[in-house]
Structure 1
């Protein structure tokens, strides 16, 4: 059984191991798929029935779910996101005899690491997982345990903001150290597996490692409105002169709105909402090192976010897919990173906690 999504050619890049830590983390964080409505008792008691239901109803959701939006990159549990990986190609194979699913993914992304600063990369890999799930009341716990890495991961480093690190990326000890860090993440992070917690009312939730019912992932905000679907609930770090492109998030109906619960520590930032077409082009320019600038299309909504307060914002948008861009630059929006004696180039990092939801 094979389902394929048409490929999109990534931008030209040159090989390097300096982005290994970011890209390897992306592999683990990029697998999110949902369960199916079933009767819990017989299903939980029968491994064969669970595999039948997953292979026939759940496996086909893997690639569509992966391709919907980017996934955050972290180097440690509960640490702030330092970048994002965007799957662009996906296919999968179901092995009924072994009861495994092999997922083939390719995509691009960006991250921020010292001393390289912003880096852009591409990634391809094939990973075999042994999935399972359990129904616990209104929740479906979906687990992915790593069975083996079939191919790759293959990394290509594109843009590196720090020109010295760009030149030294393939020269020991810089390249070797980054490669070692990447291998440690493969061995340590990927082998932990993942848990997707799915609830029809509140959406899906993801975490590294295996959580058993009734355990739940850690988040900065509590989702209080059961009528809203939660896309993401996390903490990100946006350095000075950098951005993060959240989403895309889907507003499916005309009577729905995008809700953002936000707080920031450190520097004030701009929140800008753009449609997917504009956001794709803007993100591509960002991760390939084009000069920072305003979006190549209209900003649909947004505004500055000041530190020290928690805001809940409602944005009535037309049906479609939208990026929420967190901007800590002087090149777009209304907020400019301040210039100080300790930071002559201007600006400081912003730690943003956010929850993105859709509802009426």
Structure 2
């Protein structure tokens, strides 16, 4: 039996509402992308695996006959349901409109401002031109609220940097060396950074998922091995990335057995990490840290600009790897109509209720 998310055969599934022409224009625009979550591969995989009964629409802006900006949206069925940027709530990664320029973002913002339902963009990079464009477009059409959202941790290499280990202090470098000696005491240590072709993708993907399952995420029930929908998404997305040469699967082995893993893509000269994990049976030799150090050295040696850790800023990231992060915003719009007003008032009531001083006290 295969792991959760592995289809017996790649068969027909719900598709993104994207015809061949829009697909060509989308791929053409990808040279302007700043996030892997803006790609056609990402959203095709998302539609096939995690959207369920959600309604999916692709908001586009055109200049003459050409598509110049794209933002996939989704919502649940029902009168109250708002639009969301597709992907942010499903895999909780930063999302943004795909566009060539601030002028094209303004064209798309006018399209979004005409939506009859509220819109929520959960993790938009604060520097996205869409944010300012949407604020301007909503004037006279509705309310817009922007709030800080979870930033996205990032590591940027200095020009000419080839040995990332030197960015750490002497104590941290000593920790890495000690962990490496402990690993070598258990068996031969091998690091692998694969750019798998489609023919070898499934085997490497399953090895990586099996490693994650043997870690704390497996015990917590958040590993891909226990989340069939998310496993299906990452299998589909990364398989598509492997067809384009962008997929990366990193493994650390001790005595031939995989003990740490990374699932990611190489995109716009950066290494984007979607999933990491390690086998808790080898925790004493810190295989996750050793693999991260190897991945940083590999990407720096090949001239990449840095590593995007994605996810959230957590204490272990700040303490060990980086304090730098890309600021993100949550952007919410409320059109001047009955649905927009009702949603805004309902959310104000919820906000006020959670701040009542007596809420949760004994009666």
Asked if Structure 1 and Structure 2 have the same fold, meaning a TM-score greater than 0.5 normalized by the shorter chain, the answer is: no
Give the number of the structure with larger relative contact order, counting CA–CA contacts within 8 Å between residues 6 or more apart: 2
Structure with the larger helix share = 2
Question: TM-score, with normalisation over the residues of structure 2?
Answer: 0.26
Question: TM-score, with normalisation over the residues of structure 1?
Answer: 0.26
Larger Rg: 2
Structure with the larger strand share = 1
